[in-house]
Amino acid sequence: SIYNLGSINWDHCYRVSHFVRPGETLMSSSYQLHLGGKGANQSVAAAKAGASIVHIGSVAQGDNAPQKLQSLGVTITGIREHADEATGHALIQIDDQGENAIILHAGANRAQNMQWVAEQLCEAGSQDWLLMQNETNLIVESAELAKSKGMQVAFNPAPMDRELTLRLLDKLDLLIVNQIEAQDLTGTDDLDAAIAQMQHMAPNLALLITLGSAGACHCQGSQRHQVKAFKVDAVDTTAAGDTFIGYFLANISAGQPVSEALRQASAAAAIAVTRAGAIPSIPVQREVADFLAT
């Protein structure tokens, strides 16, 4: 299985004529509520790719986000109801120019409990993966626990915290970054130099670097696999990276070779960018298979 210690957010999206000003009360012209968070997005992508995925996280008491995730194929026994915290949420203003202004409250996402995490991992072993992003607490502790159980650990440092990521490197099997995160981590925008630097810091680590419309690259030791992005009409790249990560890890944990996992992930992410939204844009395995067949 894949265990994903990750965020669960509600995104409250308000259309406004302009961003609210100090002291002003502003009526919105429309409202939409979306389930999101990098953690939830990646769990859904892995589930849609056919993986057995256990989401570890926490929400406010009575919140129905877990039921929604379950309906999308995610195992939700690892989601704890927190008595004193709100579910993570974002208040997103979108103005007439399409610009946004966001308040993000991490709430229950940053109030994970180590005993709870340990209980969820009690049966996990060397066949299993622990996946994490940087939207929860307990990342180092959970990585250490997972390694002590022989699990494989994947980390997507989004949002990037350089110090935390450097501290984690020797506990990771797979580090997944986009171009901006690779640059923030290494200080260079030259891909080869960034890879060389990361490999110098952690020689045994596998690196997966997504490159937007330029595709993706996987490196481990002297082995390098590259995949081009499929040519599609992109309408909304939200959750492209999350789709890629969920699909890649689902395929790797199912025993697929890196080249095939990259191909599947690249196709899934290409489909996702042709659709609006985050979770609703993530394709199921059947759609990916059809896409690759045409």
Cβ at position 134, least distance to ligand ADP in Å? 12
Classify the phi-psi angles of 112: left when phi > 0, otherwise alpha if psi is within -120 to 50, otherwise beta: beta
Cβ at position 132, least distance to ligand ADP in Å? 15
Q: Which is nearer to ligand ADP, 200 or 231 (CB)?
A: 231
Closest-approach residue to ligand ADP (CB): 241
Cβ atoms 10, 29 nearer than 8 A: no
Cβ atoms 118, 91 nearer than 8 A: no
- Binding residue per annotation — 170? no
User: Partners of 13 in the beta sheet?
Assistant: 32, 92
Q: Which is nearer to ligand ADP, 111 or 174 (CB)?
A: 174
- Binding residue per annotation — 41? yes
- Binding residue per annotation — 272? yes
Residue 266 contacts by C-beta under 8 Å, 6 or more apart in sequence? 215, 216, 227, 228, 229, 230, 244
Residue 290 annotated in active site: no
Q: Which is nearer to ligand ADP, 168 or 273 (CB)?
A: 273
Catalytic residue (choose from 63, 128, 173, 242): 242
- Binding residue per annotation — 211? yes
Residue type at 70 in one-letter notation: Q
Q: Which is nearer to ligand ADP, 165 or 266 (CB)?
A: 266
Cβ at position 67, least distance to ligand ADP in Å? 27
- Binding residue per annotation — 242? yes
Cβ atoms 248, 261 nearer than 8 A: yes
**H/E run at residue 269:** helix 258-273
Cis bond before residue 283 (omega within 30° of 0): no
Positions that interact with ligand ADP (CB under 6 A) = 178, 210-213, 215-216, 229-230, 232, 234, 237, 240-241, 244, 266, 269-270, 273
Annotated binding site for substrate: 9-11, 37-41, 135, 242
Annotated binding site for K(+): 236, 238, 272, 275, 277, 281
Annotated binding site: 9-11, 37-41, 135, 178, 210-215, 236, 238, 241-242, 272, 275, 277, 281
Which residues are catalytically annotated? 242
